[in-house]
């Protein structure tokens, strides 16, 4: 580790969704970097056993992120133990598969409760501490799908990730005078159980086989594993946070970078093609103007 990466010293990390996947890898990376960690999960017993060897540097807490009171209690327990929160990581989340037309409304809402409102609850619980400290980093785990969208079958998950991004941008503007940094992490596919035991696939009607069904087969039934290495992702996040600056958005994985660049290019091309039409909506602009040619 370079001097620049190490100059911030040991930090206290608060991580949700720590029992498996990227969250679990991040807990290990934080501890191996010499920092302190509060690892939270809905069912933390096995995690507590795994982390016993780290002694007082690891605190394991139960947390259902959809419970705002529980989030506040967890932050209070962190302050009682370590006295501060330097890095807040909202990682807890999951996705189930179903076309919107046939989705179970309760399931759709339940996903949003965890994937967006969980982020809201935990972030809000930590904000008074971060503001008083005049420092801190908030890491929101999103997805490249939260930037580009368009993945059939996981509309609730992707809608929540878009909401997390918008929420975080506004929050970064609100808290700019307080010295709090925000970074949205946007991974592509990683070798976790996100598309395995954590995901329920509801019945997919034949009419949606070419869209929802095709993506489900690609993600869940492919013999080729996900390209992303969780340990590498965790190490990148830790090294990035320990720098003096963080990017507003951090893509992780080749697919994430490819999709994001392609999306940005298409956005720019479309905005440019419709620029005159879009400007013409203002009183002071020439009107009417011709629509772009078809094709």
Q: Which residues are catalytic?
A: 142, 157, 161
Task: Report the distance separating Cα 276 and Cα 295, nearest Å.
Answer: 17
CA torsion, ordered 155, 158, 159, 164, to nearest 10 deg: 160
- Please, is 119 exposed, middle or buried when counting C-beta atoms within 10 Å of its C-beta (0-12, 13-18, 19+)? buried
| DSSP state, residue 114 | I
Task: Report the distance separating Cα 240 and Cα 250, nearest Å.
Answer: 9
Task: Report the distance separating Cα 98 and Cα 116, nearest Å.
Answer: 19
Which residues on neighbouring strands pair with residue 88, listed in sequence order? Answer: 14, 138
Instruction: Give Rg (Cα) of the chain.
Output: 21
Task: Report the distance separating Cα 79 and Cα 95, nearest Å.
Answer: 32
Each residue of 39-67: b (16+ CB within 10 Å) or e?
Answer: bbbeebeebbebbeebeebbbbbebbbbe
Q: Count of CB atoms within 10 A of residue 290's CB?
A: 8
Residue with tokens 């772009």: 292
Residue 264 contacts by C-beta under 8 Å, 6 or more apart in sequence? none
Task: Report the distance separating Cα 285 and Cα 275, nearest Å.
Answer: 12
Token pair of 93 as six digits: 């989340």
Distances (CA, A) of 59 to 51, 53, 78: 8, 12, 8
């Amino acid at each position: 580790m370079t001097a620049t990466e190490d100059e911030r010293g040991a930090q206290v990390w608060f991580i949700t969704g720590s029992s498996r996947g990227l969250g679990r890898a991040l807990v290990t990376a934080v501890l191996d970097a010499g920092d302190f960690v509060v690892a939270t999960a809905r069912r933390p017993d096995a995690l507590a056993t795994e982390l016993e060897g780290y002694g007082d540097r690891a605190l394991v807490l139960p947390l259902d992120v959809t419970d705002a009171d529980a989030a506040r209690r967890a932050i209070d327990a962190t302050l009682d133990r370590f006295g501060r929160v330097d890095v807040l990581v909202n990682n807890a989340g999951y996705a189930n598969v179903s076309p919107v037309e046939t989705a179970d409304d309760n399931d759709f809402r339940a996903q949003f409760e965890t994937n967006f409102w969980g982020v809201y609850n935990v972030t809000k619980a930590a904000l008074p501490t971060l503001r008083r400290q005049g420092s801190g980093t908030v890491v929101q785990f999103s997805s490249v799908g939260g930037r580009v969208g368009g993945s059939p079958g996981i509309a609730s998950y992707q809608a929540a990730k878009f909401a997390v991004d918008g929420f975080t941008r506004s929050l970064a503007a609100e808290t700019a005078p307080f010295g709090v940094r925000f970074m949205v992490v946007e991974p592509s596919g990683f070798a976790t159980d996100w598309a395995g035991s954590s995901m329920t696939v509801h019945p997919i009607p034949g009419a949606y086989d070419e869209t929802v069904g095709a993506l489900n087969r690609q993600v869940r039934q492919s013999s080729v594993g996900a390209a992303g290495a969780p340990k590498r992702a965790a190490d990148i996040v830790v090294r990035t946070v320990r720098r003096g600056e963080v990017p507003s958005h951090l893509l992780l994985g080749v697919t994430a970078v490819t999709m994001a660049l392609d999306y940005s290019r298409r956005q720019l091309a479309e905005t440019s093609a419709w620029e005159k039409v879009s400007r013409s909506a203002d009183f002071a602009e020439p009107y009417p103007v011709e629509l772009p040619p078809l094709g």
